[in-house]
Amino acid sequence: MNDSSVPKILVVDDEPLNVELMDVYLSGDYHVIPAYSGAECLEKVRAGGIDLILLDVMMPELSGFEVCRILKEDPLYQFLPVIMVTALSGKDDKIKSIESGADDFLSKPVDRLELETRVRSLLKIRQLHTSLIAQRDQAQNYLDVAGVILLALDKDQNISLVNRKGCEILGRNEDEILGKNWFDSFMLPENVEYSKKIFSSLLNGEVSEFEYAENSIITAEGEERLIRWHNSILTDETGNVSGILSSGEDITESTKAEAALKEYAKELEHSNELKDLFIDIIRHDMMNPAGAVKGFTDLLLKRGRLEDGDLRMLQSIKRTNNKLITMIESAATFAKVDSVSEVRLKVMNLGEILGNVIQSLEPQLNENRIELKMFFEGSYPALVNPMIEQVFVNLLSNAIKYSPQDTCITVEIEDVGMGWKVKVIDQGFGIPDEDKKLVFERFKRLDKGNIKGTGLGLAIVRRIVELHGGNVGVADNPNEKGSMFWVTLKKP
């Protein structure tokens, strides 16, 4: 029989007739494999697949006793059933068979019924043992792949089980852990007394099982690791408490990360406070003297009666001061919108907002002899915050600043389905394609001859539009020289 599911019996005897007889007795139910010496027996066992050995005692070179002892001393084969078959009948020989590790013995001549009974019994025991080993190994695999420490402590506080994760965190192998007192060997000295007290209270039923507890353990390298534990009572088959099963999650790194995050939050809060203070300084302490300079220069210019040189210097002071005021206002505005992460939106009419902005910029338009055309009328409801007005102020101010005299600026509102697209089109210098992606970056100001700016206006535009969940962009004027700046905003 060669079916792999049929048990394999290795029959070892230096007499071929004896081997042949055993084959006749067993071949109907088992696959019989012959061996004619002790050395050949060991070789075939090590080749694998043997389920039971019928081993003759009296053989040249290696006796059956020696072969059995060699096998039983090897952890791989210590549970392989061995039946000693001997012509010897003395009591000492039977004792010697047992001492060598044999599981049973038969006397020659072998009775067929007795042989079949002994073989069947030992194979059944081997099958049960193999099943138990498999279940144990499977359970150990479950424990080993667990991402937490698993410990079983007996009533004396000694470790009776530890999984691979526990060994890894403790930095020791299983032999260095099992049998040791958990509290005395692996916990911080200052925590030992309290932990032992809790352990005893759990065993005695004085306190109920609590969900979690945290304490530190010491690794082989002397490092402290913070562990969050969950404890469960273990009972024996009679229901009596036999120990505690503890599962522990290493929270050392997450605790450090949480502490670092809290510290960072404090630093960030302090940084925001400093930023708010700086904005207040810009708005108040810097704007006050700049406003005073503006007031005095306007007053002197209105009085007249100035020499040409003095007039030019005063006008220069006014222009420079106006630039300073613009820079202060832009920096303060950008700092404000950059620190905001969310704004409250409400339904407002874009047409009305644009109309008000255009009206406020009429002096600049007239001063620069620039015509403004509005291609929109009626109501354009959008979900916006009042700060959206700053977007249109900046876009139109930029268009006026960079447009030559006697040109035209066009403002359009286009329906794009779920939103509105507001376009400001000028007849200015235009923007090269390679520079278009830079214009909305903070402090990125393109070279426009003698026209100066802070490089913050369009950065403010982009940030405010982002807070509204919209988009911003720039393209060439579709009809002639110049640029088209656009923003999209959502409808209600």
Q: Give the pLDDT confidence score for residue 174 in this predicted structure.
A: 87
Contact predicate 487/410, CB 8 Å: no
Q: What's the number of domains the chain is made of?
A: 4
Under DSSP, the state recorded for 74 is S
Residue 3 falls within a domain, yes or no? no
Cβ neighbourhood burial of 151 (10 Å; 0-12, 13-18, 19+): buried
2, part of any domain? no
Residue 306 lies in a domain: yes
The CATH number covering residue 226 comes to 3.30.450.20
CB neighbourhood size of 39 (10 A) = 13
Residue type, 222: G
SS3 239: coil
What domain range includes position 26? Answer: 8-143
Domain boundary among the residues 221, 250, 279 is at 250
Q: Which amino acid is at 157?
A: Q
In-domain check, residue 218: yes
> Residue 170 falls within a domain, yes or no?
yes
Q: Supply the CATH number for residue 74's domain.
A: 3.40.50.2300
- Residue 320 sits in a domain whose CATH number is 1.20.58
Strands 104-107 and 82-86, sheet pairing: parallel
- Is residue 329 located within the same domain as residue 410? no
Judgement on whether residues 350 and 479 belong to the same structural domain of the protein: yes
pLDDT at 478: 86
Residue-wise pLDDT tens for the chain (492 aa)? 456 679 999 999 999 999 999 999 998 889 999 999 999 999 999 998 899 999 998 888 889 999 999 999 998 898 899 998 887 666 677 778 888 888 888 888 888 999 999 899 999 988 888 777 766 666 566 555 556 788 888 989 999 888 888 888 889 998 999 999 999 999 888 888 888 888 888 888 776 655 567 888 888 888 888 888 888 888 888 888 888 888 888 888 888 888 887 887 777 666 666 565 555 555 555 555 666 667 767 777 776 666 667 677 776 776 666 666 665 665 556 566 665 667 788 999 999 999 998 998 898 889 889 999 988 888 999 998 888 888 898 899 888 888 899 999 999 999 999 999 999 999 988 888 888 878 887 655 554 544 444 457 788 888 888 888 999 999 998 888 899 999 999 999
Q: Report pLDDT for 50.
A: 93
The residue among 253, 244, 252, 255 whose CA lies nearest residue 195 is 244
Q: Is residue 103 part of a domain?
A: yes
318 and 424 in a common domain: no
pTM score above 0.75: no
Same domain, 187 and 235: yes
Residues 106 and 135 in one domain: yes
Same structural domain, 15 and 138: yes
Q: Which tens digit of pLDDT belongs to each residue from 214-268?
A: 888 888 888 888 888 888 888 888 888 888 888 888 888 888 888 887 887 777 6
Nearest residue to 120 (alpha-carbon basis) of 24, 30, 41:
30
Distance in angstroms (rounded) separating the CA atoms of residues 252 and 256: 6
In this prediction, residue 452 carries a pLDDT of: 45
Residue 1 lies in a domain: no
Residue 77 dihedral angles phi and psi, to the nearest 5°: -125, 10
| 164 and 230 belong to one structural domain | yes
Phi-psi region of 369 (alpha: psi -120 to 50; beta: other; left: phi over 0): left
In whole angstroms, give the CA distance from residue 305 to residue 311: 9
The answer to whether position 364 is within a domain reads yes
Q: How far apart are CA 2 and CA 471, in angstroms?
A: 77
Q: Distance between the two ends of the chain, CA-based, in angstroms?
A: 84
3-state SS record for 406-467: CCEEEEEEEECCCEEEEEEECCCCCCCHHHHCCCCCCCCCCCCCCCCCCCCHHHHHHHHHHH
- The last residue of one of the domains, among 231, 250, 269, is 250
d(CA 177, CA 403): 82
The residue among 250, 277, 301 that closes a domain is: 250
Using DSSP, state whether 59 is helix, strand or coil: coil
Residues 125 and 176 in one domain: no
Other CB atoms within 10 A of residue 157 CB:
19
Q: Do 474 and 356 lie in a common domain?
A: yes
Q: Is residue 350 domain-shared with residue 483, that is, in the same domain?
A: yes
380 and 310 both lie in a single domain = no
pLDDT value at residue 391: 87
Same domain, 118 and 194: no
Measure CA 195 to chain center: 32
Q: How far apart are CA 12 and CA 186, in angstroms?
A: 52
Distances (CA, A) of 376 to 357, 366, 382: 14, 21, 15
